[in-house]
Structure 1
């Protein structure tokens, strides 16, 4: 569980990142969760955008992605989700 100070740090770090995944009409599936796990292991902090044609609401998508990838949901702002998971092999971010 992240503290408020850690979430603020991760939000400021993620501000300049571009979304690397998009959730569309198909919603969240197992293949997407597998790819997100791999991306989190490589990067630790990622942005995911939710497209207009997504049938699920953003909170449902964010919770499904964070639970499936065993990651922390840092923020949902607009149609963008920020996820964080500490890497086992490639640790890059040092949380306060």
Structure 2
């Protein structure tokens, strides 16, 4: 599944107000980071991920790996922050950033 331009526009608007939930540093995508990422995507659907890596190529590689391993989609990547989305079949209306900001 891919996102339409309208969905991306809407998600970027929502994501503008979000703070990064997961931070990835020099150790990369460890099991703990992937577990926290999975929990955050289940709860919030749309999250920001901060990448504390110096090189642009390293950040791009980590984002690609992150999306593949967590089955999420990249909405936007600006500098050291990525906005990712994964649909939850049964989202919690109190936690889902999509439902909270669209209401």
Q: Please report the TM-score for the alignment, with normalisation by the length of structure 1.
A: 0.86
**Contact (CA 8 Å) 1:34, 1:69: kept in 2 or not?**
no
> Within 2, Cα distance between the matches of 1:3 and 1:52?
29
Q: Hey, which of these two has a bigger chunk of helix by percent?
A: 2
1:75 counterpart residue number: 76
Where in structure 2 are the equivalents of 1:17-28 lying within 5 Å? 17-28=18-29
> Within 2, Cα distance between the matches of 1:11 and 1:86?
15
Deviations along 1:2-37, one digit per CA (max 9) or x if unpaired, are 111111110110001000111111011222112111
> Within 2, Cα distance between the matches of 1:17 and 1:23?
17
Q: Please report the TM-score for the alignment, with normalisation by the length of structure 2.
A: 0.81
Gaps of 5+ in 2: none
Query: SS in structure 2 opposite 1:26?
Result: coil
CA RMSD of aligned residues (A): 2.1
Where in structure 2 are the equivalents of 1:1-96 lying within 5 Å? 1-52=2-53, 57-90=58-91, 92=96, 93=98
Once the two structures are TM-superposed, the CA of residue 53 in structure 1 deviates from its matched residue by 5.5
Gaps of 5+ in 1: none
Query: SS in structure 1 opposite 2:90?
Result: coil
